């Protein structure tokens, strides 16, 4: 197998085989003769800017009417003569092999020597690759990709859990069992943050403080459940929870404190709500896939990669839409990483950078204004105007929601080409999320059809 090369000072030509299907391609530069008469193959990009003579110091160039990369690859399979050299930027020099070339289409004439055909094994491999590429293109037409973004603890992981409940049939017993220790640990860590200093609670405090950060076991120890139950009845703990905006308390703390009797029951298996309210810090990039009819939806959660965003964000420039989550209830809280920065201000800054990124100039955004239940509870006791002085709506829930929505939408610098679709959500409410996801699917389908040129 292979092609014998003769190095002559004439152009490299590509001649269609008689009866072969005619393929029209824009001519590309594929080869050149240097000043010493040696032939050197140049990278594909040389054909785009036509600067090969100035850039590589060549005396003559060769053009072909077939795809330059096909010609280059097949030449790379040849046994080159001693005075033949490959350009340094060519993939792997004369030992590089590929079966992408379809030999039935062309004979190649290199000077006076005609090439021979590729064996049937290579052709079969080529056909296999072509068929797979065709299948992949067909699948891509029915695929909708979304990128899930938002500040920490905005509810991204909860939305993904809801998708599993709604589209994947929920959690089996083994999966539920895996959440038990997470829920125990969330409960204990939350109680530690609220411990009072009253002498009558010293024994209970000691029990909780003596526990490891990660509690192992299938059953919550009796002394632990008794201690948490007793502490939750303490007025000091309840006051600490009421002032939780002053420290980093999980949103699920009260829910788990109230469920301590059920959680301490032998054979306890977490419910859907228990799982939805559990908290585990996201690391890495996760992908969630679900099908609705003929369409496949892929949702990428990059919550664990925020600090390195600029290094990977361009990899998602072809997504159909961005899904951005904001926790409305965090308007009066500070960042865990930097307690001088307001969480809502951080969310606005993050949204601004994503919305106006050069990678997403025309990409629509689905904005989830999340945790509306906690926001409604908090608003009467913690005025929004204390943190956003230009807000004048008092504790009116609707006015407060409209104000925060406007703050985000106003950041869009590409309103002519980018749509923002907003939804007020409670990510732990499965029925509401099911309704919202249904509405989103209609939006995504319209965007997808428009991208495919069908609208």
Taking only the tens place, the pLDDT of each residue in 120-137 is 888 888 888 888 877 766
Question: Are the C-beta atoms of residues 107 and 15 closer than 8 Å to each other?
Answer: yes
Question: Which residue out of 125, 279, 286, 432 is catalytically annotated?
Answer: 279
Whether 77 shows a pLDDT value over 80: the answer reads: no
Whether 343 shows a pLDDT value over 60: the answer reads: yes
Please list the residue range(s) of the chain that carry CATH number 1.10.400.10. 180-269
Angstrom distance (rounded) from CA 29 to CA 65: 10
Instruction: Note the pLDDT of residue 21.
Output: 38
Q: What is the CATH number of domain 180-269?
A: 1.10.400.10
Angstrom distance (rounded) from CA 392 to CA 364: 30
Question: Which residue out of 39, 153, 234, 274 is catalytically annotated?
Answer: 153
Q: What is the CATH number of domain 139-169+282-446?
A: 3.40.50.300
- Residue stretches of the annotated binding site for GTP: 153-158, 251-252, 276-282, 301-305, 370-373, 427
Instruction: Note the pLDDT of residue 425.
Output: 97
Task: Work out the number of other CB atoms within 10 angstroms of the CB of residue 149.
Answer: 24
Pair of tokens at residue 244: 């939780």
Highest mean pLDDT among 5-19, 60-74, 150-164: 150-164
Strand order in the sheet with 58-64: 39-41, 28-34, 58-64
Helices and strands (H, E) in the chain, number of each type? 18, 12
State the average pLDDT for the chain.
75
Task: Work out the number of other CB atoms within 10 angstroms of the CB of residue 320.
Answer: 20
301 counts as catalytic: yes
Kindly give, in sequence order, each residue whose CB lies less than 8 Å from that of residue 20, ignoring residues fewer than 6 positions away: 104, 105, 106
DSSP code of 97? -
- Specify the DSSP element, H or E, that contains 110: strand 106-110
Question: Are the C-beta atoms of residues 370 and 427 closer than 8 Å to each other?
Answer: yes
- Residue stretches of the annotated binding site for Mg(2+): 157, 282
Angstrom distance (rounded) from CA 187 to CA 329: 20
Taking only the tens place, the pLDDT of each residue in 6-59 is 333 233 333 334 443 333 333 333 444 333 444 444 444 444 443 443 443 333
Considering only residues 16 and 215, tell me which one the structure prediction assigns the higher pLDDT: 215
Question: Which residue out of 301, 332, 333, 407 is catalytically annotated?
Answer: 301
CA dihedral of 18, 20, 26, 32, whole degrees rounded to 10 = -50
Whether 437 shows a pLDDT value over 60: the answer reads: yes
- Residue stretches of the annotated binding site: 153-158, 251-252, 276-282, 301-305, 370-373, 427
Using alpha carbons, select from 337, 347, 325 the residue that is nearest to residue 154. Answer: 325
pLDDT category at 143 given cuts 50, 70, 90 is confident
153 counts as catalytic: yes
158 counts as catalytic: yes
Highest mean pLDDT among 21-25, 305-309, 440-444: 440-444
Instruction: Note the pLDDT of residue 246.
Output: 83
Q: Would you give the distance in Å from CA 228 to the centre of its chain? A: 39
Please list the residue range(s) of the chain that carry CATH number 3.40.50.300. 139-169+282-446
């Amino acid at each position: 197998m292979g092609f014998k090369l003769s190095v002559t000072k004439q152009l490299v030509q590509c001649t269609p085989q008689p009866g072969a299907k005619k393929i029209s391609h824009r001519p590309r530069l594929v080869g050149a003769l240097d000043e010493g008469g040696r032939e050197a193959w140049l990278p594909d990009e040389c054909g785009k800017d036509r600067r090969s003579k100035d850039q590589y110091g060549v005396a003559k160039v060769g053009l072909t009417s077939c795809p330059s990369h096909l010609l280059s690859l097949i030449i790379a399979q040849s046994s080159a003569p001693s005075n033949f050299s490959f350009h340094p930027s060519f993939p792997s020099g004369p030992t590089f092999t590929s079966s992408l070339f379809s030999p039935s289409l062309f004979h190649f004439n290199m000077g006076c020597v005609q090439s021979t055909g590729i064996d049937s094994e290579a052709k079969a491999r080529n056909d296999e690759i072509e068929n797979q590429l065709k299948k992949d293109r067909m699948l891509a037409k029915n695929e909708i990709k979304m990128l899930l973004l938002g500040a920490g603890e905005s509810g991204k992981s909860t939305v993904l859990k809801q998708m599993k409940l709604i589209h994947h049939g929920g959690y089996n017993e083994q999966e539920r069992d895996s959440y038990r220790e997470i829920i125990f640990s969330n409960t204990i860590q939350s109680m530690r943050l609220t411990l009072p200093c009253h002498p009558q609670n010293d024994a209970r405090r000691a029990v909780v403080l003596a526990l490891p950060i990660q509690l192992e076991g299938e059953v919550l120890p009796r002394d632990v459940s008794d201690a948490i139950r007793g502490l939750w009845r303490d007025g000091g703990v309840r006051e600490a929870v009421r002032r939780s905006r002053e420290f980093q308390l999980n949103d699920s703390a009260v829910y788990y404190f109230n469920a301590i009797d059920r959680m301490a029951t032998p054979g306890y298996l977490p419910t859907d709500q228990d799982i939805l309210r559990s908290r585990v810090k996201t690391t890495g990039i996760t992908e969630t896939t679900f099908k609705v009819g003929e369409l496949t939806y892929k949702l990428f959660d990059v919550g664990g990669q925020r600090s390195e965003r600029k290094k990977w964000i361009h990899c998602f420039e072809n997504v159909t839409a961005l899904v951005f989550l904001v926790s409305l209830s965090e308007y009066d809280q500070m960042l865990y990483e930097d307690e001088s920065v307001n969480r809502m201000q951080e969310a606005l800054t993050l949204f601004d950078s994503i919305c106006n990124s050069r990678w997403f100039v025309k990409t629509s955004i689905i904005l989830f204004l999340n945790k509306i239940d906690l926001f409604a509870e908090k608003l009467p006791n913690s005025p929004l105007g204390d943190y956003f002085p230009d807000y004048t709506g008092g504790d009116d829930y609707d006015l407060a929601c409209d104000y925060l929505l406007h703050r985000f939408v106003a950041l869009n610098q590409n309103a002519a080409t980018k749509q923002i679709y907003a939804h007020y959500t409670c990510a732990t409410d499965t029925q509401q999320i099911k309704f919202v996801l249904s509405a989103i699917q209609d939006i995504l389908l319209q965007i997808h059809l428009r991208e495919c040129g069908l609208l």
